Structure formats: C-alpha cells, structure tokens
C-alpha cells in the first residue's frame, strides 16, 4: 500500500492521478486533514486516512499497513521540521519500508537566502537519512507554477518587477514533478538515492519577460529593483509582510544563483523531456 501525504494539495492530487494510471486504486491511500476535502479520492476507491502532521496519534493510525510513503513537505510554516519528524517517526513505528520525501534543490541547502524553508528541508532530509528507513529524496527545484506569483497578476500591464538580477532557475512544472514522484513510488531501484528534480534549462527573469512578450505579443519589460525599493513598493501595494519577506528572500536566492545547480534527473525519471518553461507560460498567459 502506498500512502501519499498532503493529498489534497496541488502536488499530492497530481501524484495520485499519475498513480491511478499505474496501479489499482485499492493500492493507494491518501492522508488528509479533512476527509470531506478528500471525497473525490474515496469515490475513486482510494483509502482516505485522516491525519494531521501536528497530531502524532493520528499519524500512528494513518500509517498502519503502509509499505511506501510519499512525504510531501508541510504547507503549514509553523515548526515544519517537527511536523515532518512526527510523520517519519510514526511511519517507522508502523514498519513503513520506504519513505520518499520532497526536499529542495539548492546549491547549499544549509546556507540559503530562503532561510527556514531550506533549513527545514535540510533537517528533514538528514533525519530521514539517519532514521533507518529506506529513503529517496526528490530534491525539487522551483515550480514553474510559482512564476505567476513572482511576476504578479498585472505583469502584462506593468512588466516583471523582481529583484532577481540575472540569476537563473531551471523551473519544472508541478505536473512533471508529480509524475516523477509516481514513477519512484511504483518502480524499483530508487532505494537510498537522491534525485534532482529540475528543468533541463535555467532561465533568468529577463528571459522570462521575453518569453511572456513572445507568447502574449505584448512588450513585457523586466526591472530588477534594489531589495529596499521592492519592499517599499510591495508594502505600498498592501502586500502582506509575510509574502513580501518570502518573495524577497526567494528573489535574493535566485539572484545569487542558488537554484542554478546545472543538474537534473527529471528527464531520466520521466523517460522524456520535461515540459519547457515557455510551453508552460503559453498555457497560462497565451491566448485561450
């Protein structure tokens, strides 16, 4: 039995859809905090198990009878490392044989401008390595799906405004990452391995602005302001402080080249070339 945690999130849902193309629904379990939000899984014959990363007892029940588990990093930013350790400990207690964890692809995960986000991935990955459970780390680079968040809703009116300099990122789509996770969950030979999950080509936001110009046939300029100016502009626009800090930290990491690791196993796992960033942008911003 395979358990997918974070099943009602974007990555969890997509992974389960790919799993359904590979194995019977009776071999899939989905961990969800709210059973009602996972109703579509129940309708498809998937075993929905209610569990919360913060409630150890619920994880003890949810991981019983599980052989392999995909641990998707928590969307709850409050003490994520404790949440992840709770899941791993409960899985170990119930004899789960293999845990696949969605970590991060960063040049130096212990010294990243993204701070606690990278630190949590580093600590979780190390705890899993030392847990005694067979593991696989899917070191995910940035989702192409976050590009719209970085460039903003009015990008076609105002252009790309982000203090990312000329730093490059090998963005990969969430769909491709989910498919790769499903491959690892259902095939052999991934024991105690780490895979870099990234696109084949890294792009700067100046290049992304040009792609947007191409797919929309509108001139989309790129401006990389000073971090202080960026913070002031976003603050004046009413953007919450948490998001200003997060966007600013990621922009700094991009500018510093932290994500330009120049390595990927995504093509190998998919058995095909990943979706290109331009094709993704076309699907989001192109003419409908």
- Which pLDDT does position 287 carry in this prediction? 64
Phi/psi at 217 (5° precision): 60, 35
Q: What is the pTM of this model?
A: 0.94
Q: Is 191 exposed, middle or buried (0-12, 13-18, 19+ CB in 10 A)?
A: exposed
Residue 26 lies in a domain: yes
Contacts of 146 (CB under 8 A, 6+ apart): none
Question: How many domains are there within the chain?
Answer: 1
Residue 115 lies in a domain: yes
Instruction: Give the Cβ contact number of residue 199 at 10 Å.
Output: 24
Q: What is the pLDDT along the chain (288 residues), one digit of tens a residue?
A: 999 999 999 999 999 999 999 999 999 999 999 999 999 999 999 999 999 999 999 999 999 999 999 999 998 878 999 999 999 999 999 999 999 999 999 999 999 999 999 999 999 999 999 999 999 999 999 999 999 999 998 999 999 999 999 999 999 999 999 999 999 999 999 999 999 999 999 999 999 999 999 999 999 999 999 999 999 999 998 999 999 999 999 999 999 999 999 999 999 999 999 999 999 999 999 865
- Which pLDDT does position 138 carry in this prediction? 98
Residue 137 lies in a domain: yes
Residue 239 lies in a domain: no
The residue among 224, 233, 220, 237 whose CA lies nearest residue 285 is 220
3-class state of residue 282 by DSSP: helix
Please state, rounded to an integer, the average pLDDT across all residues of the chain: 96
Residue 250 lies in a domain: no
Domain span at residue 84 reads 2-142+173-199+262-274
Instruction: Give the Cβ contact number of residue 81 at 10 Å.
Output: 16
Strand partners, 70: 4, 100
Residue 131 lies in a domain: yes
Q: What is the CATH number of the domain that holds 99?
A: 3.40.50.720
Residue 209 lies in a domain: no
- Which pLDDT does position 286 carry in this prediction? 84
The model's pLDDT over 18-33, given as tens digits with 9 standing for 90+, comes to 999 999 999 999 999 9
Residue 11 lies in a domain: yes
- Which pLDDT does position 78 carry in this prediction? 83
Give the span between the Cα atoms of 271 and 269, in whole angstroms: 6
- Which pLDDT does position 40 carry in this prediction? 93
């Amino acid at each position: 039995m395979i358990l997918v945690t974070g099943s009602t999130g974007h990555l969890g849902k997509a992974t389960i859809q790919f799993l359904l193309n590979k194995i019977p629904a009776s071999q899939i379990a989905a961990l969800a905090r709210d059973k009602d939000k996972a109703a579509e899984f129940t309708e498809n014959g998937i075993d929905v198990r209610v569990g919360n990363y913060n409630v150890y007892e619920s994880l003890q029940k949810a991981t019983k009878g599980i052989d392999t588990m995909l641990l998707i990093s928590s969307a709850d930013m409050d003490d994520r490392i404790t949440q992840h350790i709770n899941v791993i400990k409960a899985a170990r207690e119930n004899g789960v044989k293999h845990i696949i964890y969605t970590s991060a692809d960063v040049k130096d995960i212990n010294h990243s401008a993204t701070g606690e986000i990278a630190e949590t991935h580093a600590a979780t990955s190390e705890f899993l390595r030392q847990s005694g459970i067979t593991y696989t780390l899917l070191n995910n680079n940035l989702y192409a799906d976050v590009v719209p968040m970085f460039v903003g809703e009015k990008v076609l009116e105002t252009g790309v405004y982000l203090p990312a300099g000329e730093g490059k990122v090998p963005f990969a789509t969430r769909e491709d990452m989910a498919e790769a996770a499903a491959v690892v969950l259902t095939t052999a030979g991934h024991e105690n391995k780490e895979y870099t999950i990234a696109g084949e080509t890294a792009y700067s936001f100046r290049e992304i602005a040009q792609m947007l110009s191409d797919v929309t046939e509108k001139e989309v300029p790129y401006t990389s302001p000073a971090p202080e100016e960026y913070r002031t502009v976003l603050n004046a626009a009413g953007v919450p402080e948490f998001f200003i800090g997060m966007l600013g930290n990621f922009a700094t990491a991009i500018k510093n080249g932290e994500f330009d690791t120049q390595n990927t196993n995504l093509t190998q796992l998919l058995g095909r070339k990943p979706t290109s960033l331009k094709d993704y942008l076309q699907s989001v911003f192109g003419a409908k």
